[in-house]
Amino acid sequence: MIKIIHFEPAKETDNKVNDSKFVLTKKTNIKMNTKLLLTVVPLFGLFLKAQEVQEQPLPEKEKLNVSLELKNNHLWRGLVGADVLFSSVDINYAFDKQNHFILGVWGGSELAGEEHADGKNYAWHEIDYYFKYDTGRFMVGLWDCFSDSGKDRDDLSGDIWNYDTHTTGHRVDFRGYYVLSEQTPLKIEFGTSIYGDDRTLKGDQKYSTYAELNYPLIRDKKTNLNVFCGAGIGYGGNSHMYGNGKHDFDIVNVGITTSRAFTLWEHKVPVSATAMWNPSNKMARVQLAAVIF
């Protein structure tokens, strides 16, 4: 006996449901893939951009630099070089990529004449040549300082080309400083006249030395504050050039310096104010200075 099996065709409604599920699933997958692409592509672009930035070399520091400073007087190691409006220009060139080896010329001049200790009235000026190795934490260098202010034409010390040890007006200064650390930013400075216009009455070299401790009490703020104390030292029983000439050791430069940068026509202008006392010379001054560029 043969049993006949009848196959009923699938209902149309079942096919429609399956087709709808497939279409919905396909649409969902397309949306998910689209969102994934919209997320991955920008991230990949940012990654490539970051790689480009990392691969680009850092811009080199400027080799040639020039600066102009204006101040109401000129103070240096407890001495008053000028007591009227004063301008100074610094031109320097760095020989290496890190800007550590620097050769420069510094020049300063009074913008008005005044009566000086020698009784003459003139505008004091100076020109210095220097070469230094400076890392920002450690510096050592040589300065050749010269001024012919108030000197007669026939005065050998007023001849800029004269380097005779007994008559030159040049004074060669060996200078340096050292900062202990970032955590203890005590700056130790020194300077010694090793040749030229720093002589005793007999014509012997005095080797006047200056030493200073400088510490930032407030730093990395809008207004910063430094305190300093400097001493003049003489050798061989001689006095030094920073005090009253009576002792071979004197405290000659004590004071504070506040500094702040102001914005002027979208240009930052560093400004500092210094109060300085020289106990040896029994005098004091206040200075206001601005670095124009």
pLDDT in tens, 224-253: 999 999 999 999 889 999 999 999 999 999
Close Cβ partners of 271 (under 8 Å, ≥ 6 residues apart): 259, 260, 261, 262, 288, 289, 290, 291
CB-count burial class (<10 Å; 0-12, 13-18, 19+) for 191: buried
Close Cβ partners of 155 (under 8 Å, ≥ 6 residues apart): 148, 169
| Residue 185, amino acid | P
Give the number of C-alpha atoms closer than 13 A to the C-alpha of residue 210, restricted to the C-beta side. 24
Q: What DSSP designation does 35 have?
A: H
The rounded average pLDDT for each run of 10 residues, N- to C-terminus, in the chain (293 residues) is: 47 50 48 47 48 54 95 97 96 96 97 81 92 98 94 87 95 98 97 96 93 97 97 93 95 98 91 98 98 95
Q: What's 64-291's CATH class? A: mainly beta
Q: Which residue has the tokens 């004590």?
A: 254
Q: What DSSP designation does 34 have?
A: H
Q: Rounded to whole angstroms, how far apart are CA atoms 256 and 253?
A: 10
What does the pLDDT read at residue 14? 52
Structural domain spans, the chain? 10-56, 64-291
Q: Rounded to whole angstroms, how far apart are CA atoms 72 and 85?
A: 4
Quick one: tokens of 184? 């203890």
CB-count burial class (<10 Å; 0-12, 13-18, 19+) for 48: exposed
CB-count burial class (<10 Å; 0-12, 13-18, 19+) for 78: buried
What is the model's pTM?
0.78
User: How far is the CA of 175 from the CAs of 106, 140, 170, in angstroms?
Assistant: 15, 6, 16
Three-class DSSP category at 134? strand
Close Cβ partners of 65 (under 8 Å, ≥ 6 residues apart): 90, 91, 92, 93, 94
What does the pLDDT read at residue 4? 46
User: How far is the CA of 111 from the CAs of 35, 108, 232, in angstroms?
Assistant: 71, 10, 29
Close Cβ partners of 143 (under 8 Å, ≥ 6 residues apart): 128, 129, 130, 172, 173, 175
